[in-house]
Amino acid sequence: MPKPIFVLNGPNLNRLGLREPAVYGAETLSDIEKRCSARAHTLGLEVVFRQTNHEGELVDWIHEASEVAAAIIVNAGAYTHTSLAIHDAFRAVEPPVIEVHLSNIHAREAVRHHSYIAPVALGVICGFGATGYELALEAIHKHLTDGS
């Protein structure tokens, strides 16, 4: 059985659908998980989908992914802009990483323009709402299949 793709979500993403729908959309994280599972299935992939509001737990999952995952898709939420610990965790693991954001972080407040994850990621997808997760799955599939 092939290794799964870890889809890791950071703080406040459990509030999707309720929290600032004009910015983040009306879909819940459960809706996004269903979309990811369906898209992964069509690509012949399996996903492990998780969310936490705790930085250390996210770091632990990144470490776990190093042992059992083919790749990581991450929406670290605000930790993207603040966490050197998450940056270091990604530097210490082998699976390729794609960073995802629902909103276009570059069109928002200046503090959101910097990412500690981007320098250690294969790529960044932002501004496409929940579709960004599906785009990340397609990109990971292509990368794992043909290295691009």
Instruction: Kindly list the catalytic residues.
Output: 24, 101
| Contact of 96 with 148, CB cutoff 8 Å | no
Phi, psi at 112, each rounded to 5°: -90, -5
Single-letter amino acid code for the residue at 101: H
In 3D space, the residue among 6, 2, 14, 1 whose CA is nearest the CA of residue 133 turns out to be 6
Q: What is the DSSP letter of 15?
A: G
**Is residue 6 helix, strand or coil?**
strand
How large is the angle between the packed helices 84-91 and 55-68, nearest 10 degrees? 10
d(CA 29, CA 130): 9
d(CA 7, CA 61): 10
